[in-house]
């Protein structure tokens, strides 16, 4: 009988380089190994698929270029009465301090449309709005201080939507960076603008605001654009360092928050973030 220790696992010493000799042959980088015919066929198939998608315009970068070209297509501004904002005018809403234009940023799902601000931009499809009456005024009639209007914008697909906002609440959406009341576009392809799309135009100068009620709103003059439902004013965060980095470049955040800087004769004075002007040329 063997000694109990003799049945234990024994390790046999192997000479140096033993496993290296068992590793197989080595090849130079230029030698094809494995099923290289199949690899070549797969490569040719990928190239053919790429060329087909390129011809059909379904490549991602071609879609992006097409979307940019469509959204930035030039649009002519329209002023029915020079110097006065009227129903039916096609205008740009520009921030008075930074000269940034209110623009639309359509999400990747083509459903959510966020309002942003873009500096040094010419009139195009994504930043030109049509003034729509919300108080029964007819096309061509002047917009007056205290009157309700909606701002309608078109997208590349020919769909319309209206500038909107909601009261801040537990279930309401907020701006991405500041957490303030969000500004977006709603009522897609609706003939009548929803209630959350009503805006009131007020005189920027607090000292003459009460007596200006009912007077025509001039173009290229500082105004306050106040949301009818929430009573908050449209605000451009032009000094905020955080920006939206999109296919169109860096764009600023737009919210609906009144920034008061005091009062004059009981009327509130707003900070530069709340001052806008309607540009028709």
* pLDDT tens digit at each of 281 positions of the chain: 545 554 444 544 445 444 444 445 566 666 665 666 777 777 888 888 878 877 776 677 667 777 777 888 899 999 999 999 999 999 999 999 999 999 998 765 556 789 999 998 899 999 999 999 998 888 999 999 999 999 999 887 778 899 999 987 777 889 999 999 999 998 877 777 788 999 999 999 999 999 999 999 999 999 999 999 999 999 999 999 999 998 888 999 999 999 999 999 899 999 999 999 999 88
Residue pointed to by tokens 């309002």: 115
Alpha helices in the chain (DSSP H): 18-22, 36-56, 60-71, 209-212
How many residues does the structure list for the chain? Answer: 281
Q: Is-contact 59 49, C-beta < 8 A?
A: no
Residue 243 is predicted with a pLDDT of 94
3-state secondary structure of 155: coil
- Phi then psi for residue 71, to 5 deg, are -70, -25
Q: Is the dihedral of CA 270, 272, 273, 276 positive or negative?
A: positive
CB atoms within 10 A of CB 139: 12
Q: Is-contact 96 275, C-beta < 8 A?
A: yes
Q: Is-contact 244 250, C-beta < 8 A?
A: yes
The three-point CA angle 247-251-254 to 5° equals 135
Residue 46 is predicted with a pLDDT of 85
Residue 194 is predicted with a pLDDT of 86
Distance CA 186, CA 193 (A): 8
**165 to each of 6, 168, 229, how far by Cα in Å?**
86, 9, 8
**95 to each of 29, 251, 276, 279, how far by Cα in Å?**
62, 13, 4, 10
Residue pointed to by tokens 């897609």: 188
Residue 11 is predicted with a pLDDT of 47
Which residue, 232, 224, 152, is CA-closest to 186?
Answer: 152
Distance CA 226, CA 177 (A): 21
Residue 236 is predicted with a pLDDT of 97
**Interacting residues of 268 by C-beta distance below 8 A, sequence separation 6+:** 206, 258, 260, 262
**17 to each of 13, 22, 24, 26, 252, how far by Cα in Å?**
12, 9, 13, 15, 66
Residue 19 is predicted with a pLDDT of 47
CA dihedral 102, 107, 111, 112 (to 10 degrees): -50
Predicted TM-score of the model (pTM): 0.77
Residue 248 is predicted with a pLDDT of 87
């Amino acid at each position: 009988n063997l000694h109990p220790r003799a049945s234990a696992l024994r390790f046999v010493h192997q000479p140096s380089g033993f496993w290296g000799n068992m590793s197989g042959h080595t090849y130079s980088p230029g030698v094809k190994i494995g099923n290289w015919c199949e690899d070549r066929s797969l490569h040719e198939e990928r190239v053919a698929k790429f060329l087909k998608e390129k011809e059909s315009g379904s490549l991602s970068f071609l879609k992006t270029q097409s979307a940019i070209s469509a959204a930035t297509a030039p649009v002519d501004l329209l002023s029915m009465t020079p110097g006065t904002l009227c129903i039916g005018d096609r205008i740009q809403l520009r921030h008075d301090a930074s000269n940034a234009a209110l623009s639309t940023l359509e999400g990747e799902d083509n459903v959510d449309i966020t309002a942003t601000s873009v500096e040094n931009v010419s009139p195009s499809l994504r930043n030109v709005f049509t003034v729509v009456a919300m108080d029964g005024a007819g096309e061509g009639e002047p917009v007056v201080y205290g009157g309700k209007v909606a701002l309608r914008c078109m997208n590349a697909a020919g769909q319309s939507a209206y500038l909107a906002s909601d009261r801040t609440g537990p279930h309401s959406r907020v701006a991405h960076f500041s957490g303030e009341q969000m500004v977006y576009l709603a009522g897609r392809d609706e003939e009548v603008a929803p209630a959350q799309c009503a805006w009131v135009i007020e005189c920027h100068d607090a000292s003459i605001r009460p007596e200006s009620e009912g007077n025509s709103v001039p173009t290229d003059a500082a105004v306050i654009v106040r949301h009818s439902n929430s009573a908050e004013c449209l605000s451009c965060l032009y000094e905020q360092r955080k920006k939206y980095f999109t296919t169109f470049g860096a764009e600023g955040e737009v919210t609906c928050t009144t920034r008061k800087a005091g009062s004059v004769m009981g009327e509130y004075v707003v900070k530069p973030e709340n001052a806008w002007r309607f540009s028709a040329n």
